[in-house]
């Protein structure tokens, strides 16, 4: 499975970047904030919706609801984890493993800087 972003995804990320946003992202990463992005597509079946909901519920449980924010659209979610104990890296590792287990085969799962 190739987790590398497509050319279109890279171009979209670069288009969103400004010096200020790059600086903010670098500061967050240095501070220990970590991200996981899951491109899961539209929920077309109850099973799709359950998988997406299960992943978000797992994220909330891992973070005890205090260190997590989730943003996204109908077909993508980005999980943002604040530093703390356990480390944001450890939480993202578990969350990525959970996403891989829930993946019906077409999700794109990647750690990201923003």
Instruction: Kindly report, residue by residue over 12-46, the tens digit of the pLDDT.
Output: 777 776 666 667 777 777 888 999 999 999 999 99
Domain-wise residue ranges, the chain = 7-112
Whole-prediction pTM value? Answer: 0.77
| pLDDT, position 88 | 92
Q: Is the pLDDT of residue 90 over 80?
A: yes
Return the CATH number of 7-112, one of 3.40.50.2000, 3.30.70.600, 3.40.190.10, 3.10.20.600: 3.30.70.600
Q: Please compute the mean of the pLDDT values over residues 83-91 and round it to a whole number.
A: 91
Instruction: Kindly report, residue by residue over 55-85, the tens digit of the pLDDT.
Output: 999 999 998 877 999 999 989 999 999 998 8
Q: Which three-class secondary structure string do you get for the chain? A: CCCCCCHHHHHHHHHHCCHHHHHHHHHHHHHCCEEEEEECCCCCCHHHHHHHHHHHHHHHHHHCCCCEEEEECCCEEEEEECCCCCCHHHHHHHHHHHHHHHCCCCCEEEEECC
Q: Is the pLDDT of residue 89 over 80?
A: yes
| pLDDT, position 105 | 95
């Amino acid at each position: 499975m190739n987790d590398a972003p497509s050319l279109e995804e890279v171009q979209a990320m670069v288009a969103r970047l400004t010096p200020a946003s790059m600086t903010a992202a670098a500061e967050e990463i240095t501070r220990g904030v970590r991200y996981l992005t899951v491109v899961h597509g539209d929920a077309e079946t109850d099973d799709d919706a359950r998988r997406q909901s299960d992943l978000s519920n797992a994220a909330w449980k891992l973070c005890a609801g205090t260190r997590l924010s989730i943003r996204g659209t109908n077909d993508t979610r980005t999980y943002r984890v604040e530093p703390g104990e356990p480390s944001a890296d450890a939480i993202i590792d578990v969350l990525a493993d959970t996403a891989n287990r829930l993946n019906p085969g077409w999700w794109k799962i990647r750690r990201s800087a923003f």
